[in-house]
Structure 1
Amino acid sequence: MAPPTYPELGKLARDLFKRGYHPGLWQLDCKTMSSPAIELFSSGFASQDHSKVVGSLQSKYKIEDYGLTLTERWNTDSWFIGEILQKDKLSQGLMLALEGKFQPSSDSKDGKFRLGYAQDKFNFLSDMGISSNPMMNCSLVLAHNEFLGGVGCTFDVGDTSLSSWKLALGWANDKATVHVELMDGESWLASLFYKLNDQIDAAVELTKTGGGGGGGGGENAPEGESEQGGGSDVAVGVGLIYRLEGDALIRGKINSKAELGLGYEQKLRDGVTASISALLDGRHISDGNHKFGVGLALEC
């Protein structure tokens, strides 16, 4: 089994802090399969602070005989996005993808080419934009037993210069995942995910941002990092998921800024899941910027 890609390192802890929380939003997700090869997904968000609604519609069509996946997406910003992906047909573990997007209102166009190759001990992933000033992102993850090591960089093709870099070390088994990452020599993060039993998952996350903002984190940038700005304080977060009987679970998290997140999720019936969440400002209980959110997920 191939190791995960670089953006997937530390994902279990990251998801525990992010998934299921949607403060300040009304959220609706719909997923269905019109046939075994066609998948449709729609997602919508409405802010409670203003009337703006953001949504997207995606269709995915798989051609198994040729290893092809065709994806089309549209969002409320009028972006049309198409992707052609082929995997494991030319060579086992090889992934090739071409993505293009177009916005008619502004006549903006962009595209991206992706290449991935994975085997038992390594996973390489790269992408490069095809715009006038293309950027190339490359990452490599190596695995040995339960240990993982990764390196990633962003290269400015036009200026032939290294824009950002990142290094990661990790360890994972069936119950625990440890992830440590250094970004541009200024920012770092460390996380621990632990599955106590079938009912309880827990995670701890530490984050430090450098004076320059610490770019290069990409999809691995932890929750709250952007809120730190150019500061250099270490932020600490603790999160927990407790699964109840009857297809329900409770979420909770708290960080060193005294922000308390709470969530409850209930499966109402097959294909219908409802959730509520809240983010409370612990430093200003009476007049703080408290937010709550409601989500509904439909699947058939």
Structure 2
Amino acid sequence: MAVPAFSDISKASNDVLGKDFYHLTPVSLDVKTVAANGVTFTAKGKSSGDKLSGNLETKYADKKNGLTLTQGWNTANALDTKVELADTLTPGLKAEVVGSVVPDKKKDAKLNLTYAHQAFTARTFLDLLKGPTVNADFTAGKDGVTLGGTASYDINAASVTKYAFAVGYKAPDYSISLSALDNVKLFSAGYYHKVSPLVEVGGKATYDSKSSIANPVALEVATKYQVDSTAFVKAKIADSGIASFAYSQDLRKGVKLGLGAAIDVLKLNEATHKLGVSLSFSA
């Protein structure tokens, strides 16, 4: 198994703390279908206040040659294209060309390279039109321990504009991570534990050395309980006083319902609470 990428060193705890909390979007709809020739079509829509947004995406994968082509269009009139080539030039190497065009407004083009090995993983993200800038990260690991760093380099200014470091340890049923982000000014510690086949818990503490508030440390803990093979519940509490809850249920094969709520326990009498519902179809 390859060493996790830099952004995945804290993945286990981040998933418990941030994934599947449906209150973040009041209403969302996701429809995914697969044609007989393997082409995948995905339509997504969501509401946020008085705004509606949506995205249409088509994905074609030629697994034999390691080629994947993804084409998308959204309500912001952005045309997005991604071409992926994996394990073709050499095993473990994946190349991506990502482009986005909003007619008469803006254009983006990026080249991403990832090389995954049993002992290390290296990634480079080159913004071809802005800067240009190069973002790169590198991780190396052995026996469950992963060390990594990332940096952003402005080619025109010939200077490093951003950097970060992280270390993590992963065991069969738990993992821990320590990160020094934002030019070593934001520090984070994450913890994940699979207590049993049905229960997972995660926690994170973040210290912002630049913060001017009295208590610059933020804490949050979350848990996930697998009710059965078709449903789970999640709960999270943060020191800010926000309690979040989620429930996911497979109504039938290919149909999933998600319900979420966030309650500000410090302002129970105020209209600061949030509710969300998600419905996903796949065929």
- Separation (CA, whole Å) in 2 of partners of 1:7 and 1:33: 30
- Counterpart residue identity of residue 41, structure 1: T
- Separation (CA, whole Å) in 2 of partners of 1:295 and 1:14: 21
Deviations 1:156-192, CA, capped at 9 Å, x for gaps: 1121111110100001122112111001121011111
- Separation (CA, whole Å) in 1 of partners of 2:6 and 2:149: 8
Asked whether 1:85 is paired with 2:80, we answer: no
Structure 2 equivalent of residue 216 of structure 1: none
State the identity as a percent.
24
- Separation (CA, whole Å) in 2 of partners of 1:288 and 1:55: 27
Distance 1:64 1:273, change over 3 A: same
- Separation (CA, whole Å) in 1 of partners of 2:186 and 2:271: 29
- Counterpart residue identity of residue 249, structure 1: F
Contact 2:22–2:246 at 8 Å: present in 1 too? no
Contact 2:198–2:225 at 8 Å: present in 1 too? yes
Structure 1 equivalent of residue 114 of structure 2: 116
Distance 1:181 1:109, change over 3 A: same
TM-score (norm: length of structure 2): 0.94
Q: CA deviation at 1:22?
A: 2.8
Asked whether 1:271 is paired with 2:254, we answer: yes
Structure 2 equivalent of residue 131 of structure 1: 129
Contact 1:128–1:137 at 8 Å: present in 2 too? yes
Structure 2 equivalent of residue 284 of structure 1: 267
Structure 2 equivalent of residue 262 of structure 1: 245
Structure 1 equivalent of residue 235 of structure 2: 252
Report SS of the residue matched to 2:7.
Answer: helix
Deviations 1:178-221, CA, capped at 9 Å, x for gaps: 1110011210111111111111110011112232xxxxxxxxxx
Deviations 1:22-57, CA, capped at 9 Å, x for gaps: 32510111222113632222221102x32x111112
Considering only aligned residues, what root-mean-square deviation do their CA atoms show, in Å?
1.5
- Counterpart residue identity of residue 34, structure 2: M
Contact 2:17–2:203 at 8 Å: present in 1 too? no
- Separation (CA, whole Å) in 1 of partners of 2:11 and 2:162: 21
Report SS of the residue matched to 1:35.
Answer: coil
Structure 1 gap segments, 5+ residues each? 212-228
Contact 1:28–1:44 at 8 Å: present in 2 too? yes
Q: CA deviation at 1:82?
A: 0.8
Contact 2:234–2:247 at 8 Å: present in 1 too? yes
- Counterpart residue identity of residue 44, structure 1: G
Q: CA deviation at 1:288?
A: 4.7
- Separation (CA, whole Å) in 1 of partners of 2:59 and 2:130: 29
* Runs (4+) off by over 6 Å: none
Structure 1 equivalent of residue 278 of structure 2: 295
Distance 1:145 1:77, change over 3 A: same
Structure 1 equivalent of residue 15 of structure 2: 15
Structure 1 equivalent of residue 5 of structure 2: 5
- Counterpart residue identity of residue 285, structure 1: L
Q: Which runs of structure 2 are paired with 1:189-200 in the superposition (5 Å)?
A: 189-200=188-199
Structure 2 equivalent of residue 35 of structure 1: 36
Structure 1 equivalent of residue 177 of structure 2: 179
- Separation (CA, whole Å) in 2 of partners of 1:27 and 1:20: 12
Deviations 1:58-108, CA, capped at 9 Å, x for gaps: 2111112321111111111111111111111110111111111110142x1
Structure 2 equivalent of residue 60 of structure 1: 59
